[in-house]
Amino acid sequence: MEIKLIAGSVSAPKGFTASGVHCGIRKNRTKRDLALIYSQQPCAAAAVYTTNKVKGAPILVDQKNLADGKAQAVICNSGNANTCNANGIEIAEGMCELVGKALNIDPTDVVVASTGVIGQPMTLDPIAAGIPQLVQELAKDGDTNASEAIMTTDTIKKEVAVSFQIGGVECKMGAIAKGSGMIHPNMATMLGFVTTDAAITPALLQKALTASVGDTYNMVSVDGDTSTNDTVAVLANGMSGAPLIEAEGPDFDAFCQALTFVNEKIARLMAMDGEGATKLLVVKVSGAVDTAAAKSIAKSVCCSSLFKAAMFGADANWGRVLCAIGYADAPVDVTKVAVSFASKAGRVDVCQNGAGIPFSEEIAKTVLTEKEIDVIITLGDGEACATAYGCDLTYDYVKINGDYRT
């Protein structure tokens, strides 16, 4: 199936509009802090959430609202995570009520999300004041403002849109997300919202999302911290006119392929925009005994602070790769392991059969100075493979998080 990148993001599919405004949650009036996504028609909906035992109040509300597999709008604020607040549920439900009233839809058909500082007092006042403008500015080109409004320490917007076909009918899918720090998902991403005009049942939508997450967002790590508010939600309104996907088969496979394509694009953007990061690290593992082993090893290397620091310094310290492979929760014969580093500047082989081989440090330095680096690991134990996405560890990560709250 051909998947084509197109302009826009969550407003690209038929029937969806979006907006983003500054309502006053953030003191900086130049930063938007409230986003809205709206579908003309009710949608099949699915979501996945953080596995952190400390969960933001919006997650608890969403789990209740999405129990019937339906939604029609998404409201999200930045600047305050609405987590560990005594009135958190009241705030989250209040946001749904405000949107429901303004759009004349059932408040339980609203997905609510928040991101920002944990444990800060929160009030509905700025949100209530911002809702009229937010609704008024809903537009097909409003997705860029929505994308901006959910950012915290992000330096780039995470947005993508594609077209694909279901049953010979063109469908579109778009996504926005935020995520720069506190990223070590164990279910999904920090905050991600996907829209599509394809038609699919809620049960199959949930199945597609859960499977896609395992190969995309769950393979990203910036700093090893799993957030309290991680949520990714998908809304499908069926307005493309494509046949309803109500059973597994070619159409379901095509939908899953498009969803994973979109989610992988966002996952790479998150890793690339890790707090303080200067390089995207793509760890590619092949030859594992099974997929679980491949994923475990790829993530272990991607999460190694020592390895990440070496990549910041463009130091081809392959021993740190072997070390991370060795403590991964996966069977591996270290005497078969080969490691190479590659970028657009070239490729350098540094390890074969679990031992170092001669290589040019000068060439290695050139390869590792690029902005995107592939870490190629061949295990020789089987045929399974996996890819993880991460970034280097820099001085700026500590600077950003040293005074994040203040």
Four-point Cα dihedral 312, 316, 319, 320, nearest 10: 10
SS (HEC) of 220-288:
ECCCCCCCCCCEEEEEECCCCCCCCECCCCHHHHHHHHHHHHHHHHHHHHHHHCCCCCCCEEEEEEEEE
Q: Do domains 4-267 and 280-402 have the same CATH topology?
A: no
Q: According to the model, what pLDDT value does residue 19 have? A: 98
Give the residue numbers annotated as catalytic, written as ranges.
189
Task: State whether residue 334 is helix, strand or coil.
Answer: helix
Q: How many CB atoms are closer than 10 A to CB 149?
A: 30
Q: According to the model, what pLDDT value does residue 221 have? A: 83
Q: According to the model, what pLDDT value does residue 50 have? A: 86
Q: According to the model, what pLDDT value does residue 185 have? A: 64
Using a 10 angstrom Cβ sphere, with 0-12 exposed, 13-18 middle and 19 or more buried, the burial of residue 134 is buried
Q: Helices 291-303 and 319-326: crossing angle, nearest 10°? A: 130
- CA 221 to chain CA centroid, Å, is 10
Q: According to the model, what pLDDT value does residue 274 have? A: 80
Task: State whether residue 36 is helix, strand or coil.
Answer: strand
* CA neighbor of 220 nearest in space, from 282, 142, 166: 282
Residue 249 has which token pair? 């088969």
* CA neighbor of 83 nearest in space, from 177, 224, 182: 182
Residue 150 has which token pair? 């959910």
Q: According to the model, what pLDDT value does residue 52 have? A: 85
Q: According to the model, what pLDDT value does residue 218 have? A: 87
Q: According to the model, what pLDDT value does residue 24 have? A: 95
At 141-170, the pLDDT tens digits run 999 999 999 998 888 899 999 999 999 999
**Residue ranges in the chain modelled with pLDDT below 70:** 181-183, 185-189, 406
Please say whether the beta carbons of 113 and 62 come within 8 A: yes
Residues 21 and 23: their CA atoms lie apart, in Å, by: 6
- CA 117 to chain CA centroid, Å, is 19
So where are the chain's domains?
Answer: 4-267, 280-402
Q: In what order do the strands lie in the sheet with 346-352?
A: 355-356, 346-352, 338-343, 372-378, 280-288, 384-391
* CA neighbor of 64 nearest in space, from 88, 89, 40: 89
Residues 297 and 326: their CA atoms lie apart, in Å, by: 8
Total number of residues shown for the chain: 406
Number of H helices, E strands in the chain: 11, 15
Q: According to the model, what pLDDT value does residue 240 have? A: 98
Which CATH superfamily, name and number, covers 280-402? Answer: ArgJ beta chain, C-terminal domain (3.10.20.340)
Which DSSP symbol is given to 187?
Answer: S
Task: State whether residue 373 is helix, strand or coil.
Answer: strand
- 113 phi and psi angles, rounded to 5 deg: -150, 155
Taking domain 4-267, whether its CATH number is 3.60.70.12 is answered by yes
Four-point Cα dihedral 210, 84, 195, 139, nearest 10: -170
Residue 113 has which token pair? 């999300």
Q: According to the model, what pLDDT value does residue 2 have? A: 95
At 385-395, the pLDDT tens digits run 999 999 999 98
Q: According to the model, what pLDDT value does residue 176 have? A: 98
